[in-house]
Amino acid sequence: MPITTTALNVISANLTGSALPKFTAIGTSGLVFTSGQTVLGSESDRNQIVSNNLAVAEEVTFTSNFSPAEMSGTVFREFATMTTGSAMLNREVLVGSSVFDGEQELQIQQTFKFFR
């Protein structure tokens, strides 16, 4: 998954304090990723990250949940990890899209692995 310039700065700050990702945002845009992006192409919802797993060396996993009511009618094409200050750390654009009819929930788990 490509990451933004902002993400490189956050990583260098050791993912602490306000730099720690707090939200996962979802959207409907299929625009191609560029490293200078600061927002999703078309954000439709944003939820707090409900868990930060820092147990594995050189990796961190963030999990966010979206309820059936939130997802109803959503055409899901993109998602991103956001800091408290709304800085976008990454953006993933899906191949195709998923349309939610109000019966499905969505859980997004993102794992960032750091290599030396």
Strand ranges for the chain from DSSP E: 21-27, 43-48, 51-53, 59-66, 75-83, 88-99, 106-113
- pLDDT tens by residue, 81-96: 998 777 888 999 999 8
pLDDT-based confidence at 9, cuts 50/70/90?
low
Domain count, the chain: 1
pLDDT at position 14 = 59
User: Residue type at 27?
Assistant: G
Tell me what the pLDDT averaged over the chain comes to.
Answer: 84
- pLDDT tens by residue, 46-101: 999 998 777 776 778 899 999 999 999 999 999 999 987 778 889 999 998 899 99
pLDDT-based confidence at 6, cuts 50/70/90?
confident
pLDDT-based confidence at 23, cuts 50/70/90?
very high
Could you give the count of Cα atoms lying within 13 Å of 64 in the half-sphere of its Cβ? Answer: 20
pTM reported for the whole predicted model: 0.81
Structural domain containing residue 20: 5-31+39-113
